[in-house]
């Protein structure tokens, strides 16, 4: 178990016993399919931990993604692999068919899983020093003041070319893949929030076709300074 997940599990049960602190700081990184957030998040965490540590800050900034499923599995006392269907975009149609066949009690179970994941995402955000990748993080934590919500975008054709190269697909296969994943991610966001304008809740968009990784990371840091997150 990594240090950040362990810290989350320990602190979760302390929240009811102490006066609440200011939630955050937190950065959420959302991305259109075909836009890679991995390198950006790694460089951002490294830069924040090396050059922008606050006085008295005892913890590093951590990248949070699979930890959300791991912590949710701890809460539900199950295997995190069993929760992956929530984010299994590639098999979403099959999953929807499966959910339609469930009983009323099983539907509640599915709702309970999603509510648990939402609560875990919020707990990581409230705990602070988290860079949350995907998982509808921006929508779930939009009300937190000490937060910056980033959206990575690129033109559709650029993303098709990127996916074709990355996965060794034909242009037609990549086109179909990107189109399908865009629809599925749209549905995922609606799964976790029904609020109006949930797709327009980001603070800033970065176009990967025209901006490189270092430029984006530098600007994110600047935006964090302006919002007094660091």
**Does some domain include residue 176?**
yes
Q: What is the extent of the structural domain holding 38?
A: 3-223
**Does some domain include residue 84?**
yes
Contact of 159 with 212, CB cutoff 8 Å: no
CB atoms within 10 A of CB 171: 12
* Greater pLDDT, 146 or 11: 146
**Does some domain include residue 230?**
no
Report the C-alpha gap between 182 and 208 in whole angstroms.
16
Contact of 87 with 135, CB cutoff 8 Å: yes
**Does some domain include residue 229?**
no
**pLDDT for 98-144, tens place per residue?**
444 444 545 446 678 788 889 999 999 999 999 999 988 999 999 99
**Does some domain include residue 211?**
yes
Average pLDDT over all residues of the chain: 83
**Does some domain include residue 45?**
yes
Instruction: Give the CATH number, domain containing residue 170.
Output: 3.40.50.300
**Does some domain include residue 86?**
yes
* Greater pLDDT, 66 or 84: 66
Number of domains in the chain: 1
């Amino acid at each position: 178990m990594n240090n950040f997940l362990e810290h989350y599990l320990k602190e979760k049960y302390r929240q009811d016993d102490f006066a609440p602190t200011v939630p955050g700081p937190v950065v959420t990184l959302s991305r259109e399919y075909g836009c890679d957030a991995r390198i950006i998040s790694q460089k951002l965490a490294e830069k924040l931990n090396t050059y922008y540590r606050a006085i008295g800050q005892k913890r590093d900034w951590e990248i949070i993604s699979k930890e959300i499923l791991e912590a949710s599995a701890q809460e539900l006392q199950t295997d995190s692999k069993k929760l992956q269907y929530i984010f299994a975009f590639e098999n979403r149609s099959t999953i929807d068919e499966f959910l339609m066949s469930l009983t009323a009690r099983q539907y509640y179970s599915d709702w309970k899983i999603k509510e648990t994941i939402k609560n875990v995402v919020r707990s990581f955000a409230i705990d602070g020093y988290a860079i949350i990748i995907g998982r509808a993080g921006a929508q779930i934590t939009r009300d937190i003041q000490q937060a910056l919500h980033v959206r990575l975008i690129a033109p559709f054709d650029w993303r098709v070319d990127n996916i074709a190269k990355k996965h060794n697909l034909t242009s037609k296969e990549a086109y179909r893949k990107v189109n399908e994943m865009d629809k599925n991610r749209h549905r995922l966001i609606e799964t976790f929030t029904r609020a109006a304008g949930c797709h327009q809740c980001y603070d800033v968009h970065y176009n990967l076709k025209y901006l490189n990784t270092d430029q984006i990371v530098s600007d994110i840091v600047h935006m964090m300074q302006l919002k007094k997150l660091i």
